[in-house]
Amino acid sequence: MDKKVVVITGASSGIGAALARLLGSAGHSVILAARREQQLGDIVGDIGDNAVAVKTDVTRREDMDHLKQVALETFGRIDVWINNAGRGITRPVLALTDDDVEEMMSVNMKSALYGMQTIVPYFQDRDSGHLINVSSFLGRVPLVSFRSIYSASKAALNMLTACLRMDLREKFPDIHISLVMPGVVMTEFHKNALGGQPQQAPGARRSTMNAQTPEEVAEVIADLLEHPKSEVYTNPTLPEIARRYREDVDAFEQAMISGR
């Protein structure tokens, strides 16, 4: 694979950190973005000279532009931009506050929009590039109702990604737009969610998904760099779950409630 220059947001932990280490170890140049400087610095130290950290608040448009400029000044170009930053919530629909909605839409959807609007014009000038938006399977199938506005924000990201791809497909065939949908991933996501970790009551609905490690998800995303696709589920069990949901929503929801 040709060595690429890759920007990764949300790179201080979880999927982003695993992906940065994987790509860096393969010889790609990586620009790590997040708010937590210490964690970013530790990861850059693990990778070496082909990595740089940029303190970035992805909810600020000016920070995203600064991230792009640092990447260009450091490595001379950007080949891949990965919008990976995100945050969860533990709150059912009727308990949501205005602040909950604003936070989730800002971190999970608007930040990716800022990334798209920052990097895609650069890709258009080059007539090539690859944008990857990391979403969630919960934006496609409502398996966990207490994730409510998180799932809604990811559903919005899914559609923004698809619309952008359609906008570019005819005139810019060498600009790839990919959507990545992980399922359950073993990270600090649940612990860091607004509202804390959920308390599962006896008899509560069970997930039908096998959890993945961040490294397993990173492998799927890394493969996209070499084999671009419009959409990819990181867990092989997910397409079948999505099919069942689309075919009969009522039956699917009843099965979830009864724990089947």
Does the active-site annotation cover 150? yes
**Helix pair angle (214-226, 14-25), 10° resolution:** 50
What whole-number distance in Å separates Cα of residue 100 and Cα of residue 194?
A: 8
Provide DSSP, 182-216.
Answer: --SB-SSHHHHSBT-S--PPTTPPPP-S--B-HHH
The owner of tokens 């608040």 is: 57
Q: What letter would DSSP give residue 236?
A: T
Active-site residue identified among 122, 150, 233, 245: 150
Four-CA torsion 229, 21, 134, 192, nearest 10 degrees:
160
Strands lying side by side in the sheet with 51-55: 51-55, 29-34, 5-9, 80-83, 129-134, 175-181, 231-233
What whole-number distance in Å separates Cα of residue 185 and Cα of residue 188?
A: 9
Catalytic residues: 150
